[in-house]
Structure 1
Amino acid sequence: MGKKRILSGMRPTGKLHLGHYTGALENWVARQNELDAQGNRAYETWFLIADYHSLTTSLDTADTFSYTIEMVIDWLAAGINPEKSPVFRQSQVKQHAELFLLFSMLITSSRLERNPTLKDQVRELNMESISFGHLGYPVLQAADILLYKGNVVPVGEDQLPHLEITRELARRFNNHFPHPATGGVFEEPEPRITKFSRLAGLDGKAKMSKSLGNTVLLSDTPEEVAKKVGRAVTDTQKIRKNDPGRPEVCTVFSYHTRFSPDDRVHSIAEECRSGALGCVACKKMCAEAISAELSPILEKREAYASRPEMVREVLFDGEDRARKTAEETMCEVREAMRLG
């Protein structure tokens, strides 16, 4: 097939926050622009709006399209190039549902019930029962990836069990339905875990979440960033400026490790421990570092937001390209299964 192919996606939740950026989006942009030793693109990159997946936890679709547009604006502003990387909605490429149906015949419900990521979601959402669609979430995810023959999948550690199910389904399909020409329709994709796969929320919770109100949005102005970071949780034992601090337990310091230069991170840690640096000044430096990185994104975002028709065209073009590739894969699938 030539260069390796990356398929990744997000649920359409509207405007994105720093957790989305450090956990996925900046890695997407890096892989999109990565070159091999010959100066050619190292990967083909495909980015999916997972609107079917959103239905596993909520059937309210009233804002799905507007949320999709807002999210795509953030993708484009952060550097996703739709000419290089098709951007498309899952629901507009019907082959996702077709391959999901076929894959669902190759896996048992008991295997899906053992999925630790599912157990964590049920516990986190305090759910008494789940839908068949929620149980089959990783099967649909497998269809998403394998429909485009993704070789590399950027994931957080919590998604590794889902990816293992994808690998199992690729093996099972190839074993049950060897292709007459190639032997196997699918390759087993490999995970690519990002360094900053999680970013703590402003309240110190394990991750940023809009439902918890503990986020900094990519669309926030410097004033909004400063206000939000000013409320962030720090070391509870550092009450006064001169008190010695513990940067290793401070949420704000964890942001410094990502957004501030390495030499400044070192001096901030030393001055915090000695009591020379107070939390107010530390938060001010942190907010400035975050806004400095967001500044070009914010500028591009305003330009895209003023042209919503162009954003819609990006979607429609990406969906046309995705359907073509998806149907090519499904032709191979049907041929292997002798359904064509």
Structure 2
Amino acid sequence: MSLEPGSNDHEASLARSTERSREIEAEIAKDPSKFRILTGDRPTGHLHIGHYFGSLQNRVRLASLGIDTMILIADYQVITDRDGVGPIKERVYSLLTDYLAVGLDPAHATFFTHSSVPALNQLMLPFLSIVTDAELRRNPTVKTELDDTGGRPMSGLLLTYPVHQAADILFCKANLVPVGKDQLPHLEQARVIARRFDERYGRADASRPVFPEPDALLSASGTVLGLDGQKMSKSKGNTIELRMTADETAKLIKRAVTDSDRHISYDPANRPEVSNLVNVAALALGRTPEDVADELGDAGGGGLKKLVTESLNEYFAPIRARRAELEADPGYLRQVLADGNARANAIADQTLSEVRAAMQMDY
């Protein structure tokens, strides 16, 4: 598959990935032990409800099924487009606290940071030898990240961002990566690197390639927009963070954008702001947006915001309570991260040993 496909190729690729995701879900139901997942986030800010409904909820589901789940706190990727790391230690532990509060269990999930796993990052060297400058420059992930920098010059780390992501996936031999459809190109880069490594350098074990080609598991949830109707983003200040109180949540929702039509309907194309709030309430209530809109009827923007506030605060109350408990025990948080880093290092060291053997560099 091309890294920058035309529209027909893109649609065909998406159709294949969608069908494969359905097959994988069926396989998971039969034997979850066949899979290892890699997922994670950059510690550039605090997680919000868009992260929760878009990915965290699904991670909890998959890990609870017994799938070995590797969760990366991608601290090195903070500096792909920034001049410094900011309050990175606080943000790393904030991410970890959110992960644990929403229900990710260290018994099934391994939490680790880039900077703590040297062998993972060393894989960048052989991987960079099997991709071209042209491939990286036309990679949609690189283009999107560059557009978000506001026109600043591209750093070498940003240019090689997809290769670093490939190392994240392949170091632990993850064979499953939960993604949205816009993230398929970066997963394809990892698949390309896995194939090319085998073709160029061979295998440490003649019976199997060093790296499996990971599959995408497409997310079924739609996008949750920000309170202004735009893309939810930590940098835009239009989010409701998981760590916020009920009162903070209520104040933010009061400022959310709606429209002048008192009749509430779910019409994302023509009423994106109202429909987004309806969708948020539906997600928290476990109902369809259409049902929520029908029930609200002529309640207007005020009634809609009241329902969103009540449903979110009720849904997240136990998560916020658990989060407060975790924040009060920093020693436990440090231990969870230390244990995760130790396991990630053991896995990465073994993989690097196989890579060196395949490259005849094991001396």
In 1: Cα distance, 2:68 partner to 2:291 partner: 40
Secondary structure of residue in 2 paired with 1:55: helix
Corresponding residue number in structure 2 for 1:37: none
Corresponding residue number in structure 2 for 1:105: 129
Q: Match of 1:5, as an amino acid? A: R
Number of paired residues?
324
List alignment gaps of at least 5 residues for structure 1: 35-40
Matched, 1:268 2:292: yes
Out of 199, 204, 228, the residue aligned to residue 224 of structure 2 is: 199
Taking a change above 3 Å as real, the CA distance of residues 232 and 290 of structure 1, as seen in their structure-2 partners, is same
Corresponding residue number in structure 2 for 1:168: 192
Matched, 1:33 2:64: yes
After the TM superposition, which residues 59-208 of structure 1 pair with which residues of structure 2 at under 5 Å, given as runs? 59-179=83-203, 180-196=205-221, 198-205=223-230, 207-208=231-232
Contact 1:218 1:298 in 2 (8 A): yes
Once the two structures are TM-superposed, the CA of residue 196 in structure 1 deviates from its matched residue by 2.2
Matched, 1:8 2:8: no
TM-score, normalised with respect to structure 2: 0.85
TM-score, normalised with respect to structure 1: 0.91
In 2: Cα distance, 1:84 partner to 1:261 partner: 25
Secondary structure of residue in 2 paired with 1:86: strand
Corresponding residue number in structure 2 for 1:321: 343
Secondary structure of residue in 1 paired with 2:70: strand
Once the two structures are TM-superposed, the CA of residue 178 in structure 1 deviates from its matched residue by 1.7
Range with greater deviation from structure 2 (290-299 or 253-262) = 253-262
Taking a change above 3 Å as real, the CA distance of residues 197 and 59 of structure 1, as seen in their structure-2 partners, is farther
- CA deviations on 1:86-118 (whole Å, 9 max, x unpaired) are 111111000121101110000001001111122
Once the two structures are TM-superposed, the CA of residue 2 in structure 1 deviates from its matched residue by 5.7
Once the two structures are TM-superposed, the CA of residue 296 in structure 1 deviates from its matched residue by 1.1
Out of 306, 309, 317, the residue aligned to residue 328 of structure 2 is: 306
Q: What RMSD, in angstroms, separates the aligned Cα atoms of the two structures?
A: 1.8
Out of 234, 239, 244, the residue aligned to residue 210 of structure 1 is: 234
- CA deviations on 1:199-221 (whole Å, 9 max, x unpaired) are 1000000x211211101111122
Corresponding residue number in structure 2 for 1:38: none
Range with greater deviation from structure 2 (80-89 or 300-309) = 80-89
In 1: Cα distance, 2:85 partner to 2:299 partner: 48
Secondary structure of residue in 2 paired with 1:247: coil
Corresponding residue number in structure 2 for 1:44: 68
Once the two structures are TM-superposed, the CA of residue 318 in structure 1 deviates from its matched residue by 0.6
Q: Match of 2:311, as an amino acid? A: A
Percent identity reads 38
Corresponding residue number in structure 2 for 1:247: 266
Corresponding residue number in structure 2 for 1:338: 360
In 2: Cα distance, 1:8 partner to 1:98 partner: 19
Which 4+ residue blocks in structure 1 deviate beyond 3 angstroms?
A: 243-246, 265-268
Q: Match of 2:38, as an amino acid? A: L
Contact 1:157 1:197 in 2 (8 A): no
Taking a change above 3 Å as real, the CA distance of residues 279 and 54 of structure 1, as seen in their structure-2 partners, is same
In 2: Cα distance, 1:17 partner to 1:115 partner: 27
Taking a change above 3 Å as real, the CA distance of residues 2 and 260 of structure 1, as seen in their structure-2 partners, is closer
In 2: Cα distance, 1:126 partner to 1:65 partner: 26
Contact 1:153 1:192 in 2 (8 A): yes
Taking a change above 3 Å as real, the CA distance of residues 184 and 261 of structure 1, as seen in their structure-2 partners, is closer
Q: Match of 1:151, as an amino acid? A: N
Q: Match of 1:168, as an amino acid? A: V
Corresponding residue number in structure 1 for 2:14: none
List alignment gaps of at least 5 residues for structure 2: 1-31
In 1: Cα distance, 2:291 partner to 2:134 partner: 52
Once the two structures are TM-superposed, the CA of residue 257 in structure 1 deviates from its matched residue by 2.9
Contact 1:14 1:66 in 2 (8 A): no
Corresponding residue number in structure 1 for 2:48: 17
In 2: Cα distance, 1:76 partner to 1:197 partner: 24
